[in-house]
């Protein structure tokens, strides 16, 4: 590799994409250099970076190269790396933790409490560039048949959906309600079916996203008018409600709908970021004896597990991708993603 500079993208706020030229990094001990092949655009990028820098703590954007859903090929090994080889295709767990706190030891760097914690695309350079530096420990080889775009989607969105479904203990005994059929909601519907949910109901007011869910056969019932949800859930469950509901929207009304239509002794999981919710605790939660669960991204172990399952199932997360753009077209890519009407938007190098 001879190029020592490369094009990259930063997000200065004000719904703007900034194209810059930066140095190609050199891997240090325990690190690898990846040639990017796919880099997804996440709803969190839109909510907390692209429109306005709203984040703090884990979501504090530090002006780095954007993109926290990276997938690429190893092109250079740093000193001491023995777990990967040049040419390996890898998905990247997008948070680097300290490795010593309780959350890191459990395999959840997302919850790392150290000030050294850094997320790709937030506090350290991410995947919107030709090359990206990553820790070898954060890289997971793609199983045969799993594509680079699949790997990019697992890095955050599908990993988030999978973790939420695991928290909800979804199985063949359950009917599943998904509120919000954006990319994470589409992921939850797809994976929920594979985990055995007998019926999947989706709530999505946006007609384009609702249509995509139908076309991909990810849901059994799609409701576009929230006023129709009670009848749809009642018809599908004999009036019992869904054993598991997962909100992927972050919208207060959708969250309330998810909780309202969770069956007695069921599980309601919230993965959609931001906002608030207000509800009558006794009527909706205590008296129905519902487990109300929050779930944040996933663990390294569960991410590896999901990659393996996708290969075994012959499933491809990239089915939910509706638009692909080159790095030079990233401004258009973010504008499309910010409209909130499409499936997944991905930057690719193919």
Q: Which residues contact 261 (CB under 8 A, 6 or more apart)?
A: 177, 229, 230, 233, 241, 242, 245
pLDDT along the chain (350 residues), means of 10: 87 98 98 98 96 91 98 98 98 97 97 96 98 98 98 98 98 98 98 98 97 98 98 98 98 98 98 95 98 98 98 98 98 97 95
Q: What is the pLDDT of residue 117?
A: 97
Beta bridge partners of residue 291, listed in sequence order: 267
Q: What are the start-end ranges of the E strands in the chain?
A: 5-13, 16-23, 31-41, 70-77, 89-92, 95-96, 118-119, 131-135, 139-141, 175-179, 199-203, 221-223, 242-247, 262-270, 291-294, 321-325, 344-348
Cα distance between residue 130 and residue 330, in whole Å: 13
Please give the model's pTM, rounded to 2 decimal places. 0.97
Q: What is the pLDDT of residue 1?
A: 57
Q: What is the pLDDT of residue 55?
A: 83
* Helices and strands (DSSP H and E) totals, the chain: 11, 17
Polymer length in residues for the chain: 350
Burial class of residue 286 in the structure, from the number of CB atoms within 10 Å of its CB (0-12 exposed, 13-18 middle, 19+ buried): exposed
Q: What is the pLDDT of residue 13?
A: 97
CA atoms within 13 A on the CB side of 176: 35
Q: What is the pLDDT of residue 56?
A: 87
Q: What is the pLDDT of residue 2?
A: 64
Whether residue 266 contacts residue 233, with contact meaning beta carbons closer than 8 Å, is answered with no
């Amino acid at each position: 590799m001879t190029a020592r500079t490369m094009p990259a993208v930063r997000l200065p706020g004000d719904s703007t994409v900034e194209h810059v030229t930066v140095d190609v990094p050199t891997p240090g001990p325990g690190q690898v250099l990846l040639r990017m092949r796919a880099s997804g655009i996440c709803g969190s990028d839109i909510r907390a970076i692209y429109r306005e820098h709203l984040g703090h703590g884990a979501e504090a954007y530090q002006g780095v190269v954007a993109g926290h859903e990276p997938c690429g090929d190893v092109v250079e090994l740093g000193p001491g790396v023995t777990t990967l080889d040049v040419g390996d295709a890898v998905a990247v767990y997008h948070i680097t933790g300290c490795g010593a706190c309780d959350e890191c030891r459990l395999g959840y760097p997302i919850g790392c409490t150290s000030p050294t914690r850094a997320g790709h695309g937030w506090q350290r350079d991410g995947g919107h560039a030709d090359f990206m530096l990553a820790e070898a420990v954060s890289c997971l080889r793609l199983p045969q048949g799993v594509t680079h775009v699949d790997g990019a989607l697992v890095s955050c969105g599908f990993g988030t959906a999978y973790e939420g479904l695991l928290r909800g203990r979804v199985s063949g005994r359950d009917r599943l309600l998904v509120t919000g059929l954006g990319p994470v909601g589409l992921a939850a519907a797809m994976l929920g079916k594979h985990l055995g949910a007998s019926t999947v109901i989706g709530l999505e007011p946006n007609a384009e996203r609702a249509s995509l869910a139908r076309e991909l056969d990810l849901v059994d019932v799609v409701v576009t008018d929230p006023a129709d949800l009670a009848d749809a859930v009642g018809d599908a469950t004999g009036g019992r409600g869904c054993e598991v509901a997962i909100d992927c929207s972050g919208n207060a009304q959708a969250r309330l709908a998810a909780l309202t239509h969770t069956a007695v002794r069921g599980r309601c999981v919230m993965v959609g970021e931001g906002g608030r919710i207000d509800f009558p605790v006794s009527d909706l939660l205590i008296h129905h004896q519902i487990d109300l669960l929050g779930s944040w991204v996933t663990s390294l172990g569960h991410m590896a597990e999901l990659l393996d399952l996708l290969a075994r199932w012959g499933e491809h997360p990239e089915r939910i991708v509706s638009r692909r753009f080159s790095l030079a077209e990233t401004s258009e890519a973010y504008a499309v993603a910010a409209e909130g009407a499409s499936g997944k938007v991905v930057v690719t190098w193919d």
